[in-house]
């Protein structure tokens, strides 16, 4: 039963954070971000927010710094939008699965080209 609740809470946080970052954030360091997932602990004290950022490593680092600076604002806005007694602490991490998947697809394409020769 608790897993169902944490799943619903994480999906709601993902939806609201995506909307907040796109519409409310005015920080120029924050580029094009996609919230790919949110993992919430069982006691709802922490939420790991997985992000996909378009750009190079320097832009990713600047985006992460901007989000960490704005985490208080994001938590307060989440508290207004999501009815929870305690809003979880937000921990931002990069989701490397998209880059990993594109790398594997590129390698498979190269293998396919070699077999055709």
What confidence tens digit (pLDDT) does each residue in 71-96 have?
999 999 999 888 888 899 999 998 88
Name every residue whose Cβ is closer than 8 Å to that of residue 58 and which is 6 or more positions away in sequence: none
Q: What is the pTM of this model?
A: 0.79
**Domain layout of the chain by residue ranges:** 1-113
For the domain spanning 1-113, the CATH number is 3.30.300.20
pLDDT in tens, the chain (117 residues): 668 888 888 999 999 999 998 888 887 888 788 899 999 999 889 999 999 888 888 888 888 898 999 899 999 999 988 888 889 999 999 888 877 888 899 899 888 888 776
Measured CA to CA, the distance from residue 58 to residue 103 in angstroms comes to 20
- The beta-strand segments (E) located in 46-88 are 46-53
């Amino acid at each position: 039963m608790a897993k169902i609740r944490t799943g619903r809470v994480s999906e709601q946080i993902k939806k609201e954070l995506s909307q907040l970052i796109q519409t409310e954030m005015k920080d120029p360091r924050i580029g094009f971000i996609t919230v790919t997932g949110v993992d919430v602990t069982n006691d709802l004290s922490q939420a790991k927010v997985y992000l996909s950022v378009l750009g190079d490593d320097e832009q990713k680092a600047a985006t992460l710094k901007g989000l960490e600076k704005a985490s208080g604002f994001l938590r307060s806005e989440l508290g207004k939008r999501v009815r929870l007694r305690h809003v979880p602490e937000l921990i931002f991490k990069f989701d490397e699965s998209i880059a990993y998947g594109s790398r594997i697809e590129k390698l498979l394409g190269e293998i396919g080209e070699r077999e055709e020769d």
